[in-house]
Each structure stands twice: as C-alpha cells, then as structure tokens.
Chains A and B, each alone.
Chain A
C-alpha cells in the first residue's frame, strides 16, 4: 500500500468514525426525517403527512424518507468522488442515473402522453380507470393515426423492415421543423429586430435631451449591427467593414464573458445547494431554516 492510499484510507476511516459517532452516540443522531399527520383540507381525504421537528410530540420517524436521505447522500458523495479520479462509486452512481432517468422519462411519457392522448382518445370508457374525466367522452377515431405511426416507429426495433420507422420519424422531424421555424422567426427574429428599432436621440418628459438614454440606445444599435456584421462571412472582414466586424467581436466577447459568469454562478449555486443538503439534511451540522435549531 503506497503512502497516498494509506492517507486516503485513514481519512475514510476517520469520516466513518465521525458518521458512526453522529448517528449512534449523540442524543438526536443525524439524517433522520420525521413526519406528522397533516390537517385534512377535505373530509374523507386520504391521510397525508408533513415534515415535523424531531421534538414535536406528534412526530414519528419516517423510515423510507430517512433511507432516502442516506441514499441521496451516498449518491451525492459518489458523484463528487470523481473530483479525485474515476472510481467504482462514481461509475455506480452514473449507471443509476442513466437507468433512473431513462425509466422516469418513459413513465412520464406513458402516464402523461400515451394514456390520455392516445388510449384515452380511442377508448375513453375503457381508460376511465386511469383518468375519471374520460368517463363520459366518446371515442375520437383520429387517434388511430398516431396509433399506427407509433406501431411503425416501434418497427425500428425489428431486425428487418426498420425503414418503416422512417415515416413517423419524418412526421416528427417535419412537425418540429414547422414549429421551430415559426417560433424562432416570431420570438427571436422579428421581436429582437423590433426591440432594436429605438430612437437614437431620447428626450425626457420635460422635452430635454436624455443623454444616458441616448448613449445607451446608440451603443445598443451599434452593438447589434456590428455583431451581425461579424457573423456575415460573405464579405471579407477588411477595411472599414473589418473595423465594424472587430467592434462586433468586442461586443460578443463581453456577451460571452457575462454568459460565462452566469454559468459559473449557476453551477456554484448548485454546488452550494448540494453542500447544504449534506450538512443540513444529512449530517445535521447546520440548520439555516431552523428545522431543529434547539437540537444543535
């Protein structure tokens, strides 16, 4: 065993001892979820539960949610372990993520898409067990079209005749192209140009020159036009046009810098939220929301 492995081994043992100490030997432990019955909004409603403070007399330990906290903490630490190097814990968490996300999207597609929009349209009375609102509806035979196309799409799984799936695939691509064409031209092209057509000389309500408003609008229009000039490659970026394109590059660099800053801030915020989960919900070392402040 080399020195690095020995140090890591010692660190893991110390961390394990700390967890055991927190979980077993302190008065309230850690990583537990307590629930209590919620006040029913409607009579005869099924019982529901809300999070409770550990010292609440009505609180009872929720084993599934407590296990969930520990499982989530294990997965979080497994993913973070990649910062050291690729390892079996990270690979395990990655495999769980692929399986769970694919299946979750499939379940959502089935209950939110196939049941109400396909089966519910073709046989509403028969599907009312899943959606009571379908009970009094009559069948819509246009639903046969997506049914046939769905069957054709699944033909892609067959060893031969996979070309049949091209028809529904073409439908998906064509529809998506139509939706995108209109939405991008409307929301991004026309509206952005419309918002850029602003007065270069801005007057305030008293009829005087609004210097900052004017400078702002001039800078905005110069920025949009020069950045667009940079994206136009049919002309050589030389001479006066090259100067305009170069101004466009500066604007774009400022834009990329701002986007980079926002991306970093977003990721750091996510990282902070994961640390908060570990230290608050799991280890009970901090309590920013006062969930159990008197126990710390």
Chain B
C-alpha cells in the first residue's frame, strides 16, 4: 500500500501531462498540475534549507571537526534568508503596498548578497575549474592511441579556430582554400562532425530518458520511494 498509492499518484500525474500533449482539452489540467509542481518544488527548497540547518546545527553542537565552518554556513544562510524574506532595503515604489517590490531590486540587501557574494563565489568556483580541466586533460589526453589523438587534435583546432590566434596563424591561406585554414576547419568540425556526433548523443539520451520515464510511470522503477518504512 505504501508504494502502490504513490505509484498511482505518479502514474496519473505523468499520464495527464503526456495526454495534454495529444488532447488540447486536457491542457488546463496540465497547467494546474504544472502550478502544483512549481509550488512543491518551492516547498522542496524549504525542506532542503531545513535539512541544511539541522545538519549544521548537529555538527556545531557535537563540536565536530570543522564546526566553525558549519557556523559560517548557518550564519550566511540565516542572514540571506532573513533579509530576503523581510525584503530589507527594497525601494518602496507604491506607498499603498510597501511589500510589493521585488526582493532582488537593485539596492536591496538581497541584491547586495547576490551581487557581491553569490555571483563572485559561483563565477570564481567555475573559473577555478579551468585549471583542473587543463590539468586533467594533460594527464588524460596523451597521444595514447588514434582516438585520443583525434580528440586532442580536434580540441586544439577548435580552441585555435575560435580565437584570434587561429586567424593570424593561417592568414596566408588563399581564399579558395579557406576551408583548410584553422577557422575554416573549425567551421567544418562544428558544422558536420560535431553536429553528427551531438545528434547521435541527443537521440540516445532521449531514448534513455523516455525509457526511464516509462519505467517510473508504469511502476517498474520505484526506487525514488526509498526502501525503508520512513
């Protein structure tokens, strides 16, 4: 019973969404389900936030290794949540509705945190990956066999072809042979070989997603329900 009813709920919800694609009359049901889905996704963030608080509080109370960083996480979380929910610093555009302004309006405290904490942190974290991608590539893409060589050469040509260096290096190539210049080769790689490979990958992914979705809707895969009694 504990897994049959959830499966029925999943099957009905998924089937309505699929049916709405083929039956225009069912479109309003899909819209309603879509709105419920968005509300539940927002509530899932509350669940995630509560879990984050619990985990960090446990770490602090047990004085586990790195509990100071757990305190920093908790303080950042509470401050960002507080100023965002209370809309601190949001300019009042309509005195009749002082709470109607956007929580991310320029000049508000939440905007400040997004602009000067969240954005730099996320951008720098991803920028850091440039070094690790390069270092991993150096180790992984040695000219071990024909396939690795092909991958390395393609990457090299595309990297050069998408920068000014590629244009300068093959500037002497006559126009009638421009397909053999580095930017020309890059265009061919991207337009023909890369497109063909990406298409095959996308078709494969689509088949995989369709198969997995059908397994969920037909109740063959119920792993998302967990195994315990809860």
A150 touches B43 (CB 8 A): yes
A181 touches B40 (CB 8 A): no
Chain A residues lying within 8 Å of B69, measured Cβ to Cβ, are: 91-92, 94-95
B38 touches A184 (CB 8 A): no
Chain A residues lying within 8 Å of B21, measured Cβ to Cβ, are: 182, 186
- Bound CA span A162–B227, Å: 12
CB distance from B139 to the nearest CB of A (A): 13
Does B74 reach chain A (CB closer than 8 Å)?
yes
Chain B residues lying within 8 Å of A203, measured Cβ to Cβ, are: none
CB within 8 Å for A153 and B11 given contacts A68-B116, A162-B230: no
- Bound CA span A259–B81, Å: 37
B130 touches A270 (CB 8 A): yes
A264 touches B43 (CB 8 A): no
- Bound CA span A231–B204, Å: 8
Chain A residues lying within 8 Å of B173, measured Cβ to Cβ, are: none
- Bound CA span A64–B89, Å: 11
A180 touches B213 (CB 8 A): yes
Chain A residues lying within 8 Å of B84, measured Cβ to Cβ, are: 103-104, 106-107, 110-111
CB within 8 Å for A174 and B197 given contacts A109-B42, A169-B6, A184-B210: no
Q: Which residues, 147 to 175 on B, are CB-close (under 8 Å) to A? A: 147-148, 150-156, 158-159, 162
CB within 8 Å for A216 and B152 given contacts A101-B122, A161-B230: no
Contact of A274 among B102, B127, B193, B224 (CB under 8 A): B127
Chain A residues lying within 8 Å of B203, measured Cβ to Cβ, are: 188-189, 192-193, 224, 228
- Bound CA span A254–B186, Å: 11
CB within 8 Å for A180 and B209 given contacts A224-B196, A231-B204, A264-B159: yes
CB within 8 Å for A69 and B230 given contacts A154-B47, A257-B154: no
Stretch at the interface among A2-10, A14-22, A41-49: A41-49
Interface residues on A, range: 35 or more
A100 touches B200 (CB 8 A): no
Q: Which residues, 68 to 103 on A, are CB-close (under 8 Å) to B? A: 68-69, 71-72, 75-76, 79-80, 82-83, 91-103
- Bound CA span A117–B16, Å: 20
Contact with B along A26-58 (1 / 0, CB 8 A): 000000000000000000011011000000000
Chain A residues lying within 8 Å of B72, measured Cβ to Cβ, are: 92, 95-96, 99
Q: Which residues, 155 to 192 on A, are CB-close (under 8 Å) to B? A: 156-157, 161-182, 184-186, 188-189, 192
B124 touches A154 (CB 8 A): no
Does A105 reach chain B (CB closer than 8 Å)?
yes
Count of interface residues, chain B, beta-carbon cutoff 8 Å: 133
Does A263 reach chain B (CB closer than 8 Å)?
yes
A173 touches B15 (CB 8 A): no
- Bound CA span A65–B116, Å: 8
Does A261 reach chain B (CB closer than 8 Å)?
yes
- Sampled A-B contacts (11; CB under 8 Å): A45-B93, A94-B69, A113-B38, A169-B225, A170-B224, A192-B206, A196-B199, A219-B196, A223-B196, A257-B150, A258-B189
Counting from the closest, the 9 A-B pairs by CB-CB distance are A223-B196, A255-B197, A257-B154, A99-B76, A174-B10, A107-B84, A113-B42, A178-B17, A227-B200
Contacts from B to A (Cβ < 8 Å) = 2-3, 5-7, 9-18, 21, 32-52, 54, 66, 69-70, 72-81, 84-85, 91-94, 96-97, 99-100, 102-103, 106-107, 110, 112-131, 133-134, 137, 146-148, 150-156, 158-159, 162, 189-207, 209-210, 212-214, 216-217, 224-226, 229-230
Contacts from A to B (Cβ < 8 Å) = 45-46, 48-49, 64-65, 68-69, 71-72, 75-76, 79-80, 82-83, 91-114, 117-118, 128-132, 142, 145-146, 149-150, 153-154, 156-157, 161-182, 184-186, 188-189, 192-193, 195-196, 216, 219-224, 227-228, 230-231, 248-265, 267-268, 270-271, 273-274, 277
Not counting A163-B2, A166-B2, A224-B196, a sample of 13 additional A-B residue pairs whose C-beta atoms are within 8 angstroms of each other reads A72-B115, A72-B119, A91-B66, A99-B77, A106-B84, A107-B81, A146-B35, A221-B196, A251-B193, A253-B150, A254-B189, A258-B155, A274-B120
